């Protein structure tokens, strides 16, 4: 196994991780900021409001992007398994 092959495997893993986790993190960030601003404006500081809205937003994101996420993971796994022969040599 060459160092180039190892670096390529690691970079592919990080890229796929970013593609999968990115939409969930962005949804949580946007909802958190909006709820934080609304709580600051109304002076209602209840932690469960922020938690539940983030949970709902992430659930909707998973429902909306679930098939794309699974397709991406299956393609990545297939590419990784097919490159095992190159890595072992």
- Give pTM, 2 decimals: 0.76
Q: Which residues have CB under 8 Å from 45's CB, separation 6+?
A: 39
Task: Please write the tens of the pLDDT for every residue from 62-87.
Answer: 999 999 999 999 999 998 888 877 66
Q: What is the DSSP code (8-state) at residue 46?
A: -
In 30-56, which positions are buried (b, 16+ CB within 10 angstroms) versus exposed (e)? Answer: ebeeebeeeeeeeeeeeeeebeebbee
Segments of the chain scoring below 50 in pLDDT: none
Domain range summary for the chain, segments of one domain joined by +: 3-88
Q: Are 3 and 33 in contact (CB under 8 A)?
A: no
């Amino acid at each position: 196994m060459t160092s180039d092959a190892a670096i390529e495997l690691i970079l592919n893993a990080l890229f796929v991780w970013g593609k999968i986790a990115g939409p969930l993190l962005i949804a949580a960030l946007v909802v958190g900021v909006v709820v934080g601003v609304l709580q600051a404006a109304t002076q209602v500081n209840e932690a469960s409001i922020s938690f539940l809205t983030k949970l709902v937003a992430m659930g909707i994101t998973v429902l909306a992007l679930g098939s794309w996420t699974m397709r991406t993971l299956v393609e990545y796994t297939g590419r990784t398994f097919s490159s095992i022969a190159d890595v072992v040599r």
